[in-house]
Amino acid sequence: QSALTQPASVSGYPGQSITISCTGTSNDIGLYNLVSWYQQHPGKAPKLLIYEVSKWPSGVSNRFSGSKSGNTASLTISGLQADDEADYYCCSKSLSHTGIVVFGGGTRLTVL
C-alpha cells in the first residue's frame, strides 16, 4: 500500500481539463512544499512534470499545473491531448519512519 493515495483512474475527452488528487498526511504533503509529479508512458521511465508543488522543469508544457491544499496535492492537465494518456505519480518528502520520500499509487489517465 502506497503512502500517498491517488485515484486508480481518471478519464477525459480531448480538449477537456482533468485533475488528479494525491492525499497524504501532516507528515508529508501537509508538512512540506516538496511535492512532485511524474508522467510515465508504458515501457518508459518516469518524466518529471511538476516540482515543489507548482513549478515547471524546463521543457514541460504549462498545460500541466500543480497545487496543494492541506494534506492534498493536485495535478491539473488542461487541453487534454491523446499523448497525455499515461500513468501519473505524485511524490512527497516525508517525515515518516518508512522513508523520507514517498510515492503515490499512481493514476491511469485515459483520453477518450
Residues that bind other proteins (CB under 8 A): 2, 34-36, 38, 45-48, 51-52, 57, 89, 91-93, 97-106
Strands (DSSP E) contained in 7-56 are 9-12, 18-23, 35-40, 47-50
Q: 16 or 95, CB closer to other proteins?
A: 95
Handedness of CA 89, 58, 65, 93 (dihedral sign): positive
Please state the closest distance from residue 68 (CB atom) to other proteins, in A.
13
Q: Which is nearer to other proteins, 86 or 102 (CB)?
A: 102
Considering beta carbons, is residue 16 or 33 the nearer one to other proteins? 33
Shortest spacing between CB 37 and other proteins, in angstroms = 10
Q: Which residue is associated with the grid cell 491523446?
A: 82
Looking at the chain, list the stretches that DSSP marks H as alpha helix, in order from N- to C-terminal side.
none
